[in-house]
Structure 1
Amino acid sequence: MSETQKRNRAVNIIFLTIIGIFTVFAYKTTLMWMYDRYMGADSYYSHGFIVPFISLYFIYLQKENLAQIKPQNSVIGLIILFFALLLHLLGTLLYIFSISGFSIFFLIIGLSLFLFGKEVSKIIWFPLLFLVFMFPLPEAMISLVSFPLKIFAAKAGVWIISILGIPIYLEGFNILIPAGPLLVGNPCSGLRSLIAFLALGSIFAYLEPVSIIKKWVLFLISIPIALLSNIVRIPILILVSNYWGLEAAGPDTLVHTGSGMLVFVLGFFLIFFAAKALEWRT
């Protein structure tokens, strides 16, 4: 590495440090909001803490390719930085923290382009885009998507149990069984699984040595896999409640938590086998 490159790298590191300090100060309220969304009892973004570390790992894997590229500043990055600033100001003025949160995403994209150029950003495009999974969607959008998912999960679960011959009735989100009423809550909607499996599906799609079309197929197939995996959970909770009492499958019980883990494990293997199927005869 030449002296000029070393000097430019040192300048970029100093600049990034300054920007980092400025970002923490300017986005203090937004970052606190993101933390609260991550740590919420019914959080859909508990995975948000590990997303930046996954991105950094994928960037690290490209270290040899990055070492061969000479960083060049890009004006496009400056435009994106300006756009990110406007988004943050808009989110702050309207008290819509999700807008301010997503402005951090554009801030990172803009910094990559402005400091290192298009060639470097092209190499690390996936780690940069993957960061989108750490920014919570607005609560209104969460409710909009969660509502039909809960209806679908409840109807599917009731249909499966009715096939087994157990008396069951669905009224809204209330499932009536001989042992008593069960309420299909937000955690059982499957939205949490959907968000997590979209992130997981994107990783599989990025790593699999298949064509671009098959990568998109693998990414999109994570949606029905997430829904299918979650459908398995509802009948399990209903069966346990029916035979061992409502308290046996209540929130924070081993069965409730374990069924959530089962959903993830099942979905993971379904995505894995889908990836291998697409890889076949590539």
Structure 2
Amino acid sequence: MNLDRTTEQKAEILKIAMIGLLVILLYFPTFHMFIYDWSNDDNYSHGFLVPFIVIYLVWTKKDELRQLQPAPSNLGFVVLLAGLFTYLVGTIGAEWFLKRASLVVVLAGLILYLYGNAHFKCLLFPTFFLIFMVPLPAIIYSNIAFKLQLLVSVVSAQLIPLAGVALYREGNILYVSTGPLAVEEACSGMRSIMALLALSALFAYIMYKNRLKQWLLVAFALPVAIVTNIIRVTITGIMAHYWGKEFAEGVLHESFGWLVFVIAFALLFLVSKVLDLIFPTTPSYTSQQEAQAEQGDSSK
């Protein structure tokens, strides 16, 4: 029996290795572009962490996966074909977003086709978490970033005068006494949004079982990122008035990048605590029995 089980395990490892090799060969140019974008685009520098996070999440599921029996699903073959077709369209049209995103669909299809629904459900979040390493198409990214630039500019232009600073706004340019301050794309909040969405999704998955709480926490990543960047631009404008434009746009501006992300994460953590108060976790009947049993043992 042990010999048969060892043989099955070796065959399974060999099958996974062969499939993994085929995926790597197919997506090798795409992996190269992933690394290039992560290295050269600060908006997606967190992409380097995503594969390692996914590997860890899968590893935490190892015991659960061992208990599941493979039940291949033909639906997975359809999903796999859809992913490969998306890759083909992206290759013909030279659209890197489609080629990159197709990797997630292909992996989902392989899991469903080879192992079935139970394995797919178990690995659903780790698989689709990979989407956070895929850069958005430039046209979509720029369109969203431009609208956020204007929003941040308009709100900051209303807040800065509250500190006694005379200000005139023209588009995304804020004019203070020491000169113009441009609310660049980096100040739009897109960089924070991309990283915070990934972080909030991971945080929600680990912390909550309630789907509503998970989705609410992820949804709050967007306004939190916008609010923190409004704070960043507002403080920069005030500093530029009192200490000079060079000071505000120099070391202060660079250090604000990390500070803003820390503030954003703190706000997100605060949101999670508010959600805990609004939607308190009710212990299951089994958990209550276990707690009562432990209390009984300790009293003896």
Query: When the two structures are superposed, what TM-score results if normalisation uses the length of structure 2?
Result: 0.86
For 1:257, which of 254, 257, 282 is the aligned residue? 254
Task: Name which of structure 1's ranges 149-158 and 23-32 shifts more when overlaid on structure 2.
Answer: 23-32
The Cα shift of 1:4 comes to 5.2
Deviations 1:14-69 (A, max 9, x none): 2332333333332233222222221225x321111101111221222222212211
- AA aligned opposite 2:276: E
> In structure 2, the residue corresponding to 1:195 is in which secondary structure?
helix
Deviations 1:51-94 (A, max 9, x none): 11112212222222122112332222222221111111100100
1:164 is matched with: 163
Task: Name which of structure 1's ranges 104-113 and 65-74 shifts more when overlaid on structure 2.
Answer: 65-74
2:21 is matched with: 21
The Cα shift of 1:245 comes to 2.6
Please tell me whether the aligned partners of residues 210 and 278 of structure 1 are also in contact (alpha carbons under 8 angstroms): no
Please tell me whether the aligned partners of residues 71 and 115 of structure 1 are also in contact (alpha carbons under 8 angstroms): yes
Q: Which runs of 5+ in 1 are unaligned?
A: none
- Mapping of residues 1-282 of structure 1, within 5 Å: 6-41=6-41, 43-209=42-208, 211-250=210-249, 253-280=250-277, 281-282=280-281
1:168 and 1:74, CA in 2 relative to 1: closer, same or farther beyond 3 A? same
The Cα shift of 1:265 comes to 0.9
> In structure 2, the residue corresponding to 1:170 is in which secondary structure?
strand
Please tell me whether the aligned partners of residues 233 and 263 of structure 1 are also in contact (alpha carbons under 8 angstroms): yes
Please tell me whether the aligned partners of residues 236 and 259 of structure 1 are also in contact (alpha carbons under 8 angstroms): no
Distance 2:10 2:222 in 1: 43
Deviations 1:185-244 (A, max 9, x none): 111110111111111221222123453222222221222111111111111222232233
- AA aligned opposite 1:256: H
- AA aligned opposite 1:170: R
Distance 1:199 1:17 in 2: 28
- AA aligned opposite 2:89: L
The Cα shift of 1:278 comes to 1.5
Q: Percent identity?
A: 33
Please tell me whether the aligned partners of residues 210 and 279 of structure 1 are also in contact (alpha carbons under 8 angstroms): no
1:273 and 1:4, CA in 2 relative to 1: closer, same or farther beyond 3 A? farther
Please tell me whether the aligned partners of residues 161 and 235 of structure 1 are also in contact (alpha carbons under 8 angstroms): yes
1:8 and 1:77, CA in 2 relative to 1: closer, same or farther beyond 3 A? farther
Calculate the aligned-residue CA RMSD, in Å.
2.0
Task: Name which of structure 1's ranges 192-201 and 204-213 shifts more when overlaid on structure 2.
Answer: 204-213
Query: When the two structures are superposed, what TM-score results if normalisation uses the length of structure 1?
Result: 0.91
Distance 1:150 1:247 in 2: 21
- AA aligned opposite 2:148: L
- AA aligned opposite 1:263: V
Please tell me whether the aligned partners of residues 204 and 275 of structure 1 are also in contact (alpha carbons under 8 angstroms): no
1:3 and 1:162, CA in 2 relative to 1: closer, same or farther beyond 3 A? farther
The Cα shift of 1:135 comes to 0.8
Q: Which runs of 5+ in 2 are unaligned?
A: 282-300
1:3 and 1:69, CA in 2 relative to 1: closer, same or farther beyond 3 A? farther
Distance 1:5 1:81 in 2: 29
